């Protein structure tokens, strides 16, 4: 017998009924996006490696350790499975001159890839929802993006301020970060004996990321480090104040976290994360911010941009943890077909119902005909359907189908086979007595 091949560790199959939870989440996301005027975009899973090196920064963890990169055997191109969605979105915007007619609100849903140790809520193939707003510089867009995530949590049933908590910060502009960087390096060098190996490696390449360390031995030292917000100029502070003012007016609670820096080099001004304490160490559910320099950095005409991304696996874990279940995906009806009933009659009736929006499951017949009615009724009950459509010889001979409620009581009734389209709507409502 041939060896059974299995999925790569950290790259998981999503099968029913679990896949129904994913479909529900995607449906909720799309409805929220439509309400806010966002349009869907879809970019390739494979991109040039240089896109992520230039876009994310050479000394980020993603580029240094986590990318799935390879050389194209046909032409020698250096390619990478996308580890995040923003760089590819910006590449597409530039390539297609998509800002020619003005700013855009876009979103995407799809798989990303990072080569890291798989653990609960953190996988090598994971799925992201991302929202990107390009061509608008004002703090109103930053605030609206955050309000949109708050609306998404509410639509999913999560409690803002309890199940998820908003943390915000401002990273200012490049010249302000440069001044802070110099002061931060001086401070960290004066505490060199407290730096771990990772911090020493980052000291002169990406010292801001040291502030995000999870090493308990470094926490007190990091708390005393110069804070970037103290180096911000009037314009940056005003931008941040405007974002906070909108959040205050909308009643969205938040915490200002001066150590919040995010993992990519391209951020400036507003950054934010939605975090939870219900998933252990994997506390960030959604994060993003403004990245005004990235379009120019990747070769496009200078234009402001801001966006966020959320991990779908982690969000689904959170929903499960707080007891939020997806709505039932059970069919409306299950067809129970007796032996001897013309299949053409059954399928014609079912198709008329489906054409009116009724979901109907038919138990396929075996080589010896339909399964016993008892077996079919068991499957009808297990399917979660609210009704059984009984196609018995006597009913069909009279041009009728019997409709039996399976869930909430009610009397069995008969309906005309020829008029299925007329009574289809009754199967979309509660069983009637």
Euclidean distance between CA atoms 147 and 158, whole angstroms: 14
Share of the chain above pLDDT 90, in %: 64
Share of the chain above pLDDT 70, in %: 97
Sheet holding 333-337, edge to edge: 360-362, 333-337, 387-391, 400-405, 413-416
Average of per-residue pLDDT across 170-186: 90
Per-residue confidence (pLDDT) for residue 433, from 0 to 100: 42
The pTM assigned to this predicted structure is 0.88
| pLDDT-derived band at 244, boundaries 50, 70, 90 | very high
- Relative orientation angle of helices 234-250 and 139-156, to the nearest 10 degrees: 30
Average of per-residue pLDDT across 285-301: 92
Per-residue confidence (pLDDT) for residue 153, from 0 to 100: 98
Q: Highest-confidence range of 52-61, 98-107, 174-183, by mean pLDDT? A: 98-107
User: Residue 296: is its pLDDT beyond 80?
Assistant: yes
User: Residue 33: is its pLDDT beyond 90?
Assistant: yes
| pLDDT-derived band at 81, boundaries 50, 70, 90 | very high
User: Residue 371: is its pLDDT beyond 90?
Assistant: no
Mean pLDDT (the chain, rounded): 91
| pLDDT-derived band at 233, boundaries 50, 70, 90 | very high
Q: Which of 55-64, 126-135, 282-291, 347-356 is least confident?
A: 55-64
Q: What is the pLDDT of residues 2-25, one digit of tens each?
A: 889 999 899 999 999 999 999 999
Q: What is the CATH number of domain 333-428?
A: 3.40.50.800
Per-residue confidence (pLDDT) for residue 370, from 0 to 100: 83
Per-residue confidence (pLDDT) for residue 432, from 0 to 100: 46
Average of per-residue pLDDT across 175-195: 89
Q: What is the pLDDT of residues 248-280, one digit of tens each?
A: 999 999 999 988 877 666 789 999 999 999 987
For the chain, the domains span 18-172+232-321, 174-205+217-226, 333-428
| pLDDT-derived band at 324, boundaries 50, 70, 90 | very high
Euclidean distance between CA atoms 172 and 185, whole angstroms: 18
Average of per-residue pLDDT across 139-158: 97
Contact 301, 328 (CB under 8 A): no
CA separation, residue 312 to residues 110, 294, 322, 370 (Å): 9, 25, 15, 41
Q: What CATH superfamily classification does 18-172+232-321 receive?
A: Bira Bifunctional Protein; Domain 2 (3.30.930.10)
Q: Highest-confidence range of 18-27, 51-60, 111-120, 260-269, by mean pLDDT? A: 18-27
Euclidean distance between CA atoms 125 and 275, whole angstroms: 21
Per-residue confidence (pLDDT) for residue 263, from 0 to 100: 63
Contact 36, 144 (CB under 8 A): yes
Contacts of 330 (CB under 8 A, 6+ apart): 383, 384, 385, 386
């Amino acid at each position: 017998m041939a060896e059974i091949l299995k999925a790569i560790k950290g790259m998981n199959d999503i099968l029913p009924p679990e896949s129904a939870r994913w479909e529900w989440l995607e449906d909720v996301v799309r409805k929220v996006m439509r309400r806010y005027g966002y349009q869907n975009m879809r970019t390739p899973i494979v991109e040039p490696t240089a896109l992520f090196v230039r876009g994310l920064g050479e000394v980020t963890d993603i580029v240094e350790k986590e990318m799935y990169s390879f050389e194209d055997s046909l032409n020698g191109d250096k390619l990478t499975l996308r580890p995040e969605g923003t760089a590819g979105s910006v590449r597409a915007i530039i390539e297609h001159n998509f800002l020619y007619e003005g700013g855009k609100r876009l979103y995407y849903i799809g798989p990303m890839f990072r080569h890291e140790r798989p653990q609960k809520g953190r996988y090598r193939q994971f799925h992201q929802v991302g929202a990107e707003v390009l061509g608008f510089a004002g703090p109103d867009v930053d605030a609206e993006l955050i309000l949109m995530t708050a609306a998404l949590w509410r639509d999913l049933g999560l409690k803002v301020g309890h199940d998820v908590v908003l943390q915000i910060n401002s990273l200012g502009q490049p010249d302000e970060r440069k001044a802070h960087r110099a002061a931060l390096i001086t401070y960290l060098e004066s505490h060199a004996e407290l730096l771990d190996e990772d911090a020493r490696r980052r000291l002169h390449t990406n010292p801001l990321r040291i502030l995000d360390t999870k090493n308990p031995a470094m926490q007190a030292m990091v708390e005393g480090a110069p804070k970037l917000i103290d180096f911000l100029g009037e314009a940056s502070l005003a931008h941040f104040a405007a974002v906070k003012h909108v959040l205050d007016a909308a009643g969205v609670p938040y915490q200002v976290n001066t150590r919040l820096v995010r993992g990519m080099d391209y951020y400036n001004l507003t950054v934010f994360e939605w975090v939870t304490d219900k998933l252990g160490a994997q506390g960030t559910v959604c994060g993003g911010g403004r990245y005004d320099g990235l379009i120019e950095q990747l070769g496009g005409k200078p234009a402001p941009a801001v966006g966020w991304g959320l991990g779908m696996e982690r969000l689904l874990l959170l929903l499960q943890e707080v007891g939020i279940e997806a709505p039932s995906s059970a069919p409306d009806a299950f067809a129970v077909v007796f032996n001897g009933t013309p299949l053409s009659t059954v399928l014609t009736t079912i198709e008329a119902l489906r054409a009116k929006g009724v979901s109907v499951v038919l138990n396929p017949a075996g080589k010896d005909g339909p399964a016993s009615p008892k077996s079919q009724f068991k499957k009808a009950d297990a399917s979660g359907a609210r009704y059984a459509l009984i196609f018995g010889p006597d009913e069909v001979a009279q041009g009728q189908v019997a409709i039996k409620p399976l869930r909430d009581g009610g009397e069995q009734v008969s309906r005309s086979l020829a008029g299925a389209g007329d009574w289809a709507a009754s199967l979309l409502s509660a069983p009637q007595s």
